[in-house]
A = this chain, B = another copy of it.
Amino acid sequence: MAKEITSRVNDYSQWYNDLVIKAGLADHSSVRGCMVIKPYGYAIWEKMQAALDKMFKDTGHVNAYFPLLIPKSFLSKEASHIDGFAKECAVVTHYRLINDPNGKGVIVDPEAKLEEELIIRPTSETIIWNTYKNWIQSYRDLPLLINQWANVVRWEMRTRLFLRTAEFLWQEGHTAHSTDKEAIEETERMLNVYAEFTEKFMALPVLKGKKSANERFAGAIDTYCIEAMMQDGQALQAGTSHFLGQNFAKAFDVKFLNKEGKQEFVYATSWGVSTRLIGALIMAHSDDEGLVLPPMLAPLQVVIVPIGKADDIAKIFEKFEPLIKELKAKNISVKFDDDDSKRPGFKFAEYELKGVPVRLAMGMRDYEAGTIEVTRRDTKEKSVQQFEGIGNYIEKLLEDIQANIFNRAKTFRDSHIREVNTWEEFQKAIEEPGFISAHWDGTPETEEKIKELTKATIRCIPLDNPQQDGKCVFSGNASKERVVFARAY
């Protein structure tokens, strides 16, 4: 095969990069840390967007759009928020270019300096809460359930395609409520929406939990997250949902008249997932031959490769025409690849690389016999099936593939969570792929120390955690529950 991919066992990280580039998902750009999302990668994002957008609307949210640029002073209004984002802000200072008086192209016009610098949004809490101030007067204006699809910029020093880029695409929900109870319910509702999306569409099992104080979003009272396990056993945070309490309402003075006629600060949530999910999708399921895409997010679900001379292919196409119609009517995307400049073997490899879930092949022998070769991408199993009734077979097969990819990932994940009880066990276990379930004394100091010594962070405190007395794996102090540690992307 022309497009060689590094194998996972040799170099997992290089395997990932090879795959992203060679499957045509994204490219590095000439702008430091910014990627180009290529059509095939963007098509996956469009499918993710469509599914999520529907789930957001089904839970009562509407979309809106807020400015890209945020006055520097807004960002500083919530103290821990600015602490969290100051180090990675792209700053606009001028608004005009002029010809270089020395004749060397164009320069920034020193006369066109902004009075106050503008920050390209790293997230939009501040500009949005500054706006909500004008939209909220009374409890009748609440809840406000708004989502935004947007680009954001965080000047990351070490970037990786999809997983960590200076600019990325995401959605950010920002809701306003009249009680903390309602806001917490919303935070949890959206966490569940994310978990449902990743499990149902991405075929990716996730742990739902809360972050420790150290890992909380800058400005949140509580950060909920979903954590997924990649094939190398590392964790990837796939989505977060924040209960912000009254922090931003206080910073931007957003009050409402409650039912009792009293002024009160508004309660807030925010929640987001990003193009990072595409990275998670790749890392969770793909193999050394290329992408393995769950059918529900695959841009192309079925490809048909006819084999033979031009005359044969015309005949085969005629035979396939009703099937193509049938599949399209079932909302299954399908392509008949009659490109005669490429050999079938090359095409097979190409569609494996691209992760097309089902490949159909037919030569004249199959044609005569009324049979067809069906290959599923997830297991690479080939089988010969009767052509008659193949439409329903494919529909069922796509469901099987979706389920199988999920089950495979879940089996892998579940068999790679280790309970450990001593620091020796912990140190040994962290060198193996997988998550660690261990007691922790609840202090940021212990958490920091463990991170320093092992590069493991607390991924989450699982929501359905059983309470049990134990001793912290590091300090030996009393603990009430186990938390999940892992090295993470």
Binding site for B on A (CB under 8 A): 27, 29-31, 34-39, 42-43, 45-46, 62-76, 82, 86-99, 105-106, 108, 117-120, 127, 130-131, 134, 140, 146, 150-151, 153, 155, 167, 169, 341
Contact = CB atoms under 8 A, between A and B. Distances in A.
Contacts of A341: 140
A169 B66 CA distance: 11
B67 A34 contact: yes
Contact of A97 (B34, B91, B97, B131): B91
A98 B82 CA distance: 10
Given A76-B106, A95-B155, A105-B76, A69 B39 contact: no
A53 to B, nearest CB: 9
Number of identical protomers: 2
A71 B39 contact: no
B69 A31 contact: yes
A67 B31 contact: yes
Contacts of A86: 96-99, 106
Contacts of A106: 72, 75-76, 82, 86
A301 B344 CA distance: 51
A130 B140 CA distance: 51
9 contacts: A31-B70, A36-B131, A37-B65, A38-B64, A39-B146, A45-B65, A86-B97, A90-B118, A120-B120
Contacts of A82: 97, 106
Nearest to A96: B87
Contacts of A31: 67, 69-71, 118, 127
